[in-house]
């Protein structure tokens, strides 16, 4: 196997992002999350702000969005098409970035529906990280210095957004459904360090003992624009 990818979906406050960083450090590979919109911006010539705005719009309830079918993430629009900067096409561009990363280099990808986008690839280990509400509340209180009530509201708001985002872009899948993942980890019972070790063990089982030590041909992650989309900087 030339390379491998570990995707991490996570409940807010469960420590999924931290686990991704621990894995990246221990395996010596990059971890991508907030970098993906930036890379999508660089590839498409569309400002990163528009990618952020698209995410914000999805946070607002919309009956139309609930009844629409999921967008075809394999369809591409040219820069001259008015739909090139539509919310759905911005997601498509990010999905393309994720697929390119999965083909080109071993890496960790946190969020962004990556397990769904890469669901047909054999070189992917998909992980869902969750914890009991009490554990998540305590984690957010410690990290952000907020009250228990404020932490609980943040969890409800963020997890609801993540669930709706996932449901919309996957055609109705439940983000927390364990059958969508290779491995589900409860950080209420395992430390984040132990969770990272468990994920590495699962990766050894799925990919083979030699896969994680063989980095393959790693590219620098820069955009190879124009391969799928007719991107321009105009």
Query: What is the per-residue pLDDT across 24-64, written as a single tens digit (0 to 9) for each?
Result: 999 999 999 988 888 888 887 887 777 777 765 655 555 44
CB atoms within 10 A of CB 15: 25
Beta bridge partners of 164: none
pLDDT of residue 220 exceeding 50, the answer is: no
- DSSP letter assigned to residue 124: E
| pLDDT range class, residue 3, cuts 50, 70, 90 | confident
Q: Which residue has the higher pLDDT, 231 or 188?
A: 188
pTM: 0.82
Q: What are phi and psi of 135, to 5 degrees?
A: -65, -45
Element (H, E) at 91: helix 87-104
pLDDT of residue 68 exceeding 60, the answer is: no
Query: What is the per-residue pLDDT across 128-151, written as a single tens digit (0 to 9) for each?
Result: 999 999 999 999 999 999 999 999
Q: What is the mean pLDDT of the chain?
A: 82
**Cross-sheet strand order for the sheet of 5-10:** 31-32, 107-110, 5-10, 124-130, 183-186
40 is written with which tokens?
A: 């999508």
Q: Which of 218, 190, 152 is nearest to 16 (CA)?
A: 190
Q: How far apart are CA 152 and CA 98, in angstroms?
A: 31
Per the CATH hierarchy, to which homologous superfamily does domain 5-213 belong? Answer: P-loop containing nucleotide triphosphate hydrolases (3.40.50.300)
- DSSP letter assigned to residue 213: G
Query: What is the per-residue pLDDT across 77-117, written as a single tens digit (0 to 9) for each?
Result: 555 455 555 677 788 888 999 999 999 889 999 999 999 99
């Amino acid at each position: 196997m030339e390379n491998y990818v570990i995707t991490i979906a996570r409940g807010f406050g469960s420590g999924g992002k931290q686990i991704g960083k621990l894995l990246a450090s221990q395996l010596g590979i990059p971890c991508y999350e907030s970098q993906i919109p930036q890379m999508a911006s660089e590839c498409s010539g569309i400002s990163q702000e528009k990618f952020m705005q698209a995410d914000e719009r999805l946070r607002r309830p919309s009956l139309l969005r609930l009844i629409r079918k999921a967008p075809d993430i394999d369809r591409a629009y040219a820069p001259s098409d008015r739909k090139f900067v539509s919310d759905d096409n911005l997601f498509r561009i990010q999905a393309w970035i994720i697929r390119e990363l999965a083909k080109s280099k071993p890496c960790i990808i946190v969020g962004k529906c990556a397990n769904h986008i890469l669901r047909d690839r054999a070189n992917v280990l998909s992980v869902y990280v969750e914890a009991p509400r009490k554990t998540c509340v305590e984690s957010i209180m410690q990290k952000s210095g907020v009250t228990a009530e404020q932490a609980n509201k943040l969890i409800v708001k963020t997890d609801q957004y993540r669930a709706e985002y996932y449901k919309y872009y996957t055609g109705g899948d439940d983000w927390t459904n364990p059958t969508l993942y290779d491995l589900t980890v409860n950080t209420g019972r395992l430390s984040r360090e132990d969770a990272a070790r468990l994920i590495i063990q699962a990766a050894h089982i799925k990919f083979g003992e030699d896969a994680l030590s063989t980095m393959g041909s790693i590219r620098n992650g820069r955009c190879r624009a124009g391969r799928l989309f007719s991107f321009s900087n105009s």
